[in-house]
Structure 1
Amino acid sequence: MKQKIMFDLDDTLIYCNKYFHFILDQFSDEMTTWYSSAGVTRANILEKQSEIDVERIQVQGFKSEHFPQSFVDTYRYFKNITGRAGSSLEEEKLWKLGQSVYELEVEPYPLMEETLDSLARGGHELHLYTGGDSLIQHKKIAHMKLERYFQDRIYVRQHKNTAALEEILTDGRFERGNTWMIGNSVRTDVLPALQCGINAVYLKQEAEWTYNVIPIDAKPIGAFFTLNALPQIPPAINDYLYKQA
């Protein structure tokens, strides 16, 4: 039976978190150089940055500015509590460092193309649903040449939540029993899918971003699988459909 299968992009089809961790390491190194003499540790810096970043996302959504601004806000926080003199040049340096994460070249997860090819050959209709800045996300999509799989079935939203998914499903007149959401985020992929009454695959990744990790407190109406790699998806869906036939 033909299914509509919706994929998340970042850390589902392509790597994302590891690039943010790479930049965060540079940020914490710089901040430690400036503030360690005041007793501020690397752990203190990363904890405060994460807290500020998550708060900003919950209000503003996935605007590209949230990450570099969290660097500047963290810098200002420790400047104020330690009394260390700051400067606009240091703030500018941190902003540019945070912004540089969007300039790093992206790469696919292992067997991404083979997974999408398998599902397409099986007659399924593939959709892409991602959160973030539209220009940045479409740049990634073009770089990976993902239009060949998703064509015009690509949705980019600044706020990726249950309301956004519900709007896509309603506007597209998706048959929910035959629709799947596949992603690595419990917050923005799994829970919205379950709350909207569609099938869900939690593609669990190592070293997940704190923002994405929350309890799964919704009961599935249809299928719900937890998998660890893209190549596991086609056989899991096919096996489920076989059992339902």
Structure 2
Amino acid sequence: MKQNILFDLDDTLIYCNKYFNLVSDQFADMMTDWFSPFGVTREELASKHLEIDIAGVKIHGFKSDHFPQSFVETYRYYSKLTGRSMSPKEEKLLWELGMSVYDHEVEPYPAMNETLDSLVQDGHQLHLYTGGDIAVQQRKIERMNLERYFQDRIYIRMHKNTDALKGILNDGRFDKNHTWMIGNSLRTDVLPALECGLHAIYLKREDEWKFNILNVDTPPRGALLTLTELADVPPAIDEYLVKAKEPGV
């Protein structure tokens, strides 16, 4: 039976976290040069930045300027803590470093096209549900030519949570018994899917962003699968659908 399959974008279909980690490492190096003479360690700087970054995401969502602003706020925090003079030039440098994360090339995960092709050929309808600024996310979608799979079924939200997913499902009149959410985030993909009564596939990634990790206690109404490779998605869905047809299941 045809399924509605919602895919997350960042770190599900395309690489994302590794670029943020790269820029965050550059930020930590720069801040260490400035603040290590005051007894502040690189580990402390990185930990405080992560704390500020996650706190901001919970309030503002995935606004593109939040990430560079988290650099500036961390800089101001340690400047006040240590008494080191703040410099507009240094703040500008940090802001530009933070914004540079959006300049990286868009890189698909292995077997992205093959996976999407397989699902389309099996008769499923694909949807793309991603969090972030419309301009930033649309650029990624266009670079990967993803409209050929998702057409007008693309949903970009600043806040990616249960309420946002409910709105999409209600507007599209989805049959929840035949709808899947696939993504790398337990917080913004898996938990909302389960709370909405959908099937869910957790695409587990290495070095996951701490914001995406939490305990999921909501029992699934249908499938809850954990995979590590995108190419395993089509056979996993097929296997579940076959088992669901078996007597007594």
TM-score computed with the length of structure 1 as normaliser: 0.99
Q: 1: CA distance between counterparts of 2:4 and 2:96?
A: 40
Count of aligned pairs: 245
How many angstroms does 1:244 deviate by? 1.3
Residue in 2 aligned with 1:132? 132
Would you say 1:201 and 2:201 are equivalent positions? yes
Secondary structure of the structure 1 residue equivalent to 2:109? coil
Amino acid at match of 1:225: L
Secondary structure of the structure 2 residue equivalent to 1:163? helix
Residue in 2 aligned with 1:50? 50
For residues 16-55 of structure 1, the aligned pairs below 5 Å read: 16-55=16-55
Secondary structure of the structure 2 residue equivalent to 1:26? helix
Residue in 2 aligned with 1:71? 71
Q: CA RMSD in A?
A: 0.5
Residue in 2 aligned with 1:142? 142
Amino acid at match of 2:20: F
Amino acid at match of 2:29: D
How many angstroms does 1:243 deviate by? 1.1
Secondary structure of the structure 2 residue equivalent to 1:129? strand
For residues 202-221 of structure 1, the aligned pairs below 5 Å read: 202-221=202-221
Q: 2: CA distance between counterparts of 1:218 and 1:66?
A: 30
Secondary structure of the structure 2 residue equivalent to 1:225? strand
Amino acid at match of 2:220: P
Q: 2: CA distance between counterparts of 1:135 and 1:24?
A: 22
Residue in 2 aligned with 1:107? 107
Secondary structure of the structure 2 residue equivalent to 1:226? strand
How many angstroms does 1:217 deviate by? 1.4
How many angstroms does 1:86 deviate by? 1.5
Amino acid at match of 2:160: K
Amino acid at match of 2:140: K
Amino acid at match of 1:129: Y
Q: 1: CA distance between counterparts of 2:223 and 2:16?
A: 27
TM-score computed with the length of structure 2 as normaliser: 0.98
Structure 1: unaligned runs, 5 residues or longer: none
Secondary structure of the structure 2 residue equivalent to 1:202? strand
Amino acid at match of 1:207: D
Secondary structure of the structure 1 residue equivalent to 2:5? strand
Structure 2: unaligned runs, 5 residues or longer: none
Q: 2: CA distance between counterparts of 1:13 and 1:133?
A: 17
Secondary structure of the structure 2 residue equivalent to 1:14? coil
Q: Identity rate of aligned residues, in percent?
A: 62
Secondary structure of the structure 2 residue equivalent to 1:10? coil
Residue in 1 aligned with 2:92? 92
Secondary structure of the structure 1 residue equivalent to 2:145? coil
How many angstroms does 1:175 deviate by? 0.1
Residue in 2 aligned with 1:121? 121
Amino acid at match of 2:196: C
How many angstroms does 1:166 deviate by? 0.3
Q: 1: CA distance between counterparts of 2:42 and 2:21?
A: 13
Amino acid at match of 1:34: W
How many angstroms does 1:95 deviate by? 0.2
For residues 218-237 of structure 1, the aligned pairs below 5 Å read: 218-237=218-237
Moved over 2 A (4+): none
